[in-house]
Amino acid sequence: MTYQNSLTHLKAKLAGQCTSLLRNTGEPGGGRRGLTLIFVLLTGIALGAGIGVGSTLHLRTELAEQQRRVQADRREAQRELNALAARLGELQAEANRLNALGERLTRVGQLQDGEFDFTRPVGVGGHDGAVRDMPRVELEAGMDALSAQFQASGQQLAVLESLLFNRQLDLNSVPSREPISDSYITSGYGGRADPILGGTQFHKGIDFEADVGDPVLAVADGVVSFSGDRPGYGNTVEIDHGNGYVTRYAHNSRLSRQVGQLVRAGQEIAKAGSTGRSTGAHVHFEVWENGRVVNPHQFLRRASVRRG
């Protein structure tokens, strides 16, 4: 039974007693005595009602205070959750950046497909044991440590990317492919019989079989340092690769590049032909290192190794 119900029951009981006293006021001497008892009873009812109202107001005040504290705790917990969610978003962004950087390094480093799969979750595990709730302080400390680890890994990967990129630039600027596709060597480097006058002659380059109009390709990245006619070579293109190497492509029917243009390995620089001192369409290819002509065969072997 609640406090309010008890108070109502008491009021009803006192009211019944008052009625009974009023009935007895007609008896000799009962009037004054009855009025006195009625006054006492009414005073008790009034005091009881006052105490009940005060207790009710006190309970309501306590309940409102408890609700206010609960709402404040909820708001504080939500603020903490929002802060943790923001920190988690930062860590996810850092992880995505590291994954993208790792994928670039995989491509630049020419790693085999599947050797580093940055989209596949890593396997984890552990022994059976009791699991406890993680305190907020411990969670924040773990997130701080993970963030520091991400930053250190990112710096290391950035340095590695720079080294690999510079290495790739060096490789791209070294002659490492043939100047024409799907061809073969018709005359090698070194001493040979002169094809026009007879006798012996030192051949400074390599001749590749070609048809008139076949695309002649740059063997490495560089800048066109000469494009025009050279005595004996006919229409010639020369490319400076910026590392002491210069390559020469001669006897072309048409030149596709001008002096000063940047070219990439594999890009067309001319059309094959038979201009200059030549007996038929072919591509004459020379490699110069620090002003001295060298055997192009070593670069062709390097190209075969890289393709293999």
Distances in Å between the alpha carbon of 171 and those of 98, 108, 176, 241?
Answer: 26, 12, 8, 11
Query: What confidence tens digit (pLDDT) does each residue in 129-163 have?
Result: 676 777 777 777 877 887 787 777 777 777 766 76
User: Has residue 140 been placed in a domain?
Assistant: no
User: Has residue 236 been placed in a domain?
Assistant: yes
User: Has residue 144 been placed in a domain?
Assistant: no
Give the mean model confidence (pLDDT) for residues 273-278.
93
| pLDDT at res. 242 | 85
Query: What confidence tens digit (pLDDT) does each residue in 214-263 have?
Result: 999 999 999 999 999 999 999 999 999 988 899 999 999 999 999 999 99
Percent of the chain at pLDDT above 70? Answer: 65
User: Has residue 131 been placed in a domain?
Assistant: no
| pLDDT at res. 269 | 97
The overall pTM is greater than 0.85 = no
CB-CB neighbours of 270 under 10 Å: 25
**Helices H, strands E: what count in the chain?**
4, 12
| pLDDT at res. 306 | 45
Question: How many structural domains does the chain have?
Answer: 2
Angle between helices 136-172 and 30-108 (to 10 degrees): 20
Domain hosting residue 291, numbered range: 185-307
Which one-letter DSSP state was computed for residue 135?
Answer: P
- Whether residue 101 is found in the same domain as residue 209: no
- Whether residue 105 is found in the same domain as residue 214: no
User: Has residue 63 been placed in a domain?
Assistant: yes
Query: What confidence tens digit (pLDDT) does each residue in 194-214 have?
Result: 776 667 788 899 999 999 999
- Give the end of a domain, one of 90, 118, 146: 118
- Give the end of a domain, one of 82, 99, 118: 118
User: Has residue 265 been placed in a domain?
Assistant: yes
Residue 259: give its domain's CATH number: 2.70.70.10
Examine the pLDDT at 121 and tell me if it is beyond 90: no
Query: What confidence tens digit (pLDDT) does each residue in 6-38 have?
Result: 556 656 665 666 566 556 555 554 555 555 655
- Give the end of a domain, one of 71, 98, 118: 118
User: Has residue 136 been placed in a domain?
Assistant: no
Distance between CA atoms of residues 210 and 218, nearest Å: 15
User: Has residue 174 been placed in a domain?
Assistant: no
| pLDDT at res. 298 | 85
